[in-house]
Amino acid sequence: MGKATGFLEYKRRENEEVPPKERIKGYREFHSYRNEEERRCQGARCMNCGVPFCQSAMNLSGMVVGCPLYNLIPEWNDAIYRGEDRHALGRLLKTNRFPEFTGRVCPALCEKACICGQYDDPVTVRDNELYLIETGYEKEWMEPSVPAKESGKKVAVIGSGPAGLSAADALRQRGHSVTVYERDDEIGGLLMYGIPNMKLDKSVITRRRVIMEKEGIVFKCGVHVGKDVTVKELQKEYDAIVLCCGAKQPRALQAKGSDGVKGMYFAVNFLTHATKSVLGKEKLSKEFDAKEKHVIVVGGGDTGNDCIGTVIRMGCKSVAALEMMPKPPVERASNNPWPEWPKTLRTDYGHMEAIEVFGEDPRVFQTTVKEVISKDGQITAVKTVQVSFKAGKLEEIQGTEKELPCDLLLIAAGFIGAEKLLPESCKLNMTNRGVVETPEGSYKTNVDKVYAAGDMRRGQSLVVWALAEGKNAAKQVDEDLMGY
């Protein structure tokens, strides 16, 4: 696959980025996607490794590496190297119908399993993937695929995030009539309002929606299932219902003085308002505007990083990100060998921008908020404390308290399960993790005709897992409806 000696001849080169000090002036995407000559070289680096760990998801030491969608990575890398872009795109779309999303926001589990990464740098799988899909759109290869035969079956998909879109797409390709219900004013779920525009331009979602509508999928936005319409009512109209509502119940901050304080918000709520203001849907209110404010972000994941990039673009006075876990090593530890998921320090775009603007990494490790300090109900500062884990239990380190100025506190500490309204309204069985319960290897719930997929079933996870969940749930629905 690729050029036999390509991994020896060419070094890894990622897509070029607009420099941090330039890109923070606006909310446009800051990566270049079209460098044909460079992609040929990067495709050539995909060696004939015999066993391509990249294209199969493997659970090693409790963490997954390799692609959950089983992308045929060596095949389309080889085709890129040979200049056969249209064929390469066809092989990519065979397993991943939404590479414009994964090519932008996926942490590239495939690359972590790449054999080139054992002793050198892995193949630029994600960049190659994004090159293919953007080339496909540019050259008008991305056309609607209308099923040749209708099944006569009707399916409702609740939620239009990656799991919902994936399920709707797969079901429609099998000839079923598909209607997607979305409570927001636009489709996409967290792709639309949970991920900032500079990371995923919203025109990318709109572009895909146009294709899906031409294929016959109906989107009904502004409809809150469980409130505006019940599952029981939908059961009368549809042959099957697939719930893809996410796991959007945020984890609250357990800190003294945090109740009812202004200036303290969950990260997704903040990012939603910020994105709507960027899109011109609403004016950014003063409470969410970080301009000239000291900002503290609690949580070190992708959402926390997105908050950092957003408040910097708003013109914050300072930003710090608190992470309870210890600082990871820069290189793999001896007890974390390839191809396990690398537990190493990852400096993302928001961190880089903070370093450029403020001269230091915004992350403060092994630290959390102990107390929220306010005046007249408005946050003014936070008292932090260093923590450690002993026998799996979180403990404060005495004498490490610090007081930091804070005008805006953003909670990006993850999620604790699905929101309760819909599950309670239709009496779904739930797990102790707050997600919908289904039998092992199945997507069928305890409620007749109702299936679940994505974060709502497996808990907070990655876009690529949501896409895989939606596709797999659609497969089971199709088999149940058609009998084969």
Q: Please name the residues in contact with 380: beta carbons below 8 A apart, sequence gap of 6 or more.
A: 373, 374, 405, 406, 407
pTM over 0.85: yes
- Give the residue from 233, 269, 170 showing the smallest Cα distance to 476: 170
What domains, with CATH codes, occur in the chain?
6-138 (1.10.1060.10), 154-248+416-482 (3.50.50.60), 264-411 (3.50.50.60)
> How sure is the predictor about 392, in pLDDT bands with cuts at 50, 70 and 90?
confident
Burial of residue 330 (CB within 10 Å: 0-12, 13-18, 19+) is exposed
Q: Please name the residues in contact with 224: beta carbons below 8 A apart, sequence gap of 6 or more.
A: 183
Single-letter residue type at 206: T
- Residue-level pLDDT at 48: 80
Average pLDDT for the chain:
96
> Reading across the β-sheet that carries 264-266, which strands appear in turn?
264-266, 408-411, 294-298, 318-323, 363-365
Q: Please name the residues in contact with 111: beta carbons below 8 A apart, sequence gap of 6 or more.
A: 54, 117, 122, 123, 124, 125, 126
- Give the residue from 304, 309, 317 showing the smallest Cα distance to 365: 304
For the cut 70, the answer to whether the pLDDT of residue 250 exceeds it is: yes
- Phi, psi torsion values for 343, nearest 5 degrees: -90, 65
CA of residue 35 relative to chain centroid, distance: 25
From residue 206, alpha-carbon distances to 188, 211, 212 in Å are 9, 9, 10
**Whether the Cβ atoms of residue 1 and residue 74 lie closer than 8 Å to each other:** yes
> How sure is the predictor about 391, in pLDDT bands with cuts at 50, 70 and 90?
confident
**Cα–Cα dist 54/240, whole Å:** 34
- Give the residue from 206, 281, 473, 449 showing the smallest Cα distance to 465: 473
Does an H or E element contain 294, and which?
strand 294-298
- Residue-level pLDDT at 1: 67
User: Rg of the Cα trace of the chain?
Assistant: 23
Q: What is the pLDDT of residues 367-377, one digit of tens each?
A: 999 999 999 99
**Cα–Cα dist 26/54, whole Å:** 35
Block residue for tokens 């890398």: 77
Does an H or E element contain 154, and which?
strand 154-158
Count CB-CB contacts under 10 A for residue 300.
23
Percent of the chain at pLDDT > 90 equals 94
